[in-house]
Amino acid sequence: MKLDLHIHTTASDGQYTPAEIAAKAEQLKLSVFAITDHDTVAGIAEGREAAKRLGIRMIPGIEISTFYKEEIHMLGYHIEETNQALISQCEAFASEREGRGRRVCDYLNGIGIAVDWDEILEIAAGANISRPHFAAYLQKHGYVTERKEAFKKYLDTPEFHSATDRKLQTPCEAIDLIHAAGGKAVLAHPGLLHMPLEEQRELILRCREHGLDGLECHYGKHTDEQTAHYLDLAKELGLIVTAGSDYHGEKVKPDVQMGMEVNMDDLEPGL
């Protein structure tokens, strides 16, 4: 089965509009795709409309940035994007992101990189301000040749984080929010966590006690060993299994393709 339940659009830091993503999903003959932008549901209506026109299945989603020991991403699926609590919280996320973006400007200016806030707004073009917008700026102005390099040199250093970190929800708060909006909560890309496996297990158990529904066992960057480990864990803990590439477009993440080929037996058909 070919599908992709983890895709970013221009509503956050992706390269393509939701309608373009729907068209790609159709070209790739995906059985189903989900739009999961960072901290926003702004791309869902357009994606749904385009998917309907093309006769393909789209699941409305979100990827919420949370923090517990490290940054942890919580995916929400089948959320009602008109839910008032969800909309209000997304507005709060957007304003936290804007505040953080301004601190990023100050930080970069302070280390000798002249960043113009208005140009960042232009690059973001109405989307939630996120680090890839700064990476695009640094590339455009010749500070780096590749966007990856922008993270390595400037946007993912300890100094960067201590100067710019924003307040994030806890994973359990995000689970509550997703449930309040009628959705299912799935821990994103567990294989990218930095904490050791035992601590991961503890985190996943605590989240499950709080209602976590699933685990993104199939993820573009998971090794076969990681996939097998998380599939076992999901089975043991009774969590549903999802699959996503984390597609952002070639300009943003050149090494990530859209679409995942997975064994149907692994997946929760209801999702």
Q: Which does 96 bind (CB under 5 to 8 A by kind): ligand AMP, Mn ion, none?
A: none
Q: Judged by CB under 5 A, which of 3, 9, 10, 13 binds Mn ion?
A: 13
CA distance 134 to 112: 15
Q: Judged by CB under 6 A, which of 6, 131, 184, 222 binds ligand AMP?
A: 131
Q: Binders of ligand AMP: how many residues, by CB under 6 A?
A: 11
Shortest distance, CB of residue 258 to ligand AMP, whole angstroms? 14
CA distance 79 to 201: 26
Q: What would you measure as the largest C-alpha separation in the chain, in angstroms?
A: 53
Shortest distance, CB of residue 106 to ligand AMP, whole angstroms? 16
* Candidates 111-119, 147-155, 174-182, 186-194; binding stretch for Mn ion (CB under 5 A): 186-194
Is 147 a binder of ligand AMP (CB under 6 A)?
A: yes
Is 96 a binder of ligand AMP (CB under 6 A)?
A: no
Q: Binders of Mn ion: how many residues, by CB under 5 A?
A: 5
Shortest distance, CB of residue 70 to Mn ion, whole angstroms? 12
Chain-centroid distance, C-alpha 236? 26
Q: At what angle do helices 171-180 and 84-110 cross, to 10 degrees?
A: 140
Is 156 a binder of ligand AMP (CB under 6 A)?
A: yes
Q: Are 193 and 230 in contact (CB under 8 A)?
A: no
- Tell me the β-bridge partners of 72: 66
Shortest distance, CB of residue 189 to Mn ion, whole angstroms? 6
Shortest distance, CB of residue 71 to ligand AMP, whole angstroms? 8
**Alpha helix segments (H runs only) across the chain:** 18-27, 44-54, 84-110, 117-124, 131-140, 147-150, 158-164, 171-180, 197-209, 224-237
Is 246 a binder of Mn ion (CB under 5 A)?
A: yes
* CA distance readout (Å), 230 to 5, 165, 177, 208, 264: 17, 29, 24, 14, 16
3-state secondary structure of 7: strand
Of 33-62, binders to ligand AMP (CB under 6 A) are 38
Is 39 a binder of Mn ion (CB under 5 A)?
A: no
Binding footprint of ligand AMP on the chain (CB under 6 A):
13, 38, 65, 130-132, 147-148, 151, 156, 248
Binding footprint of Mn ion on the chain (CB under 5 A):
13, 63, 73, 188, 246
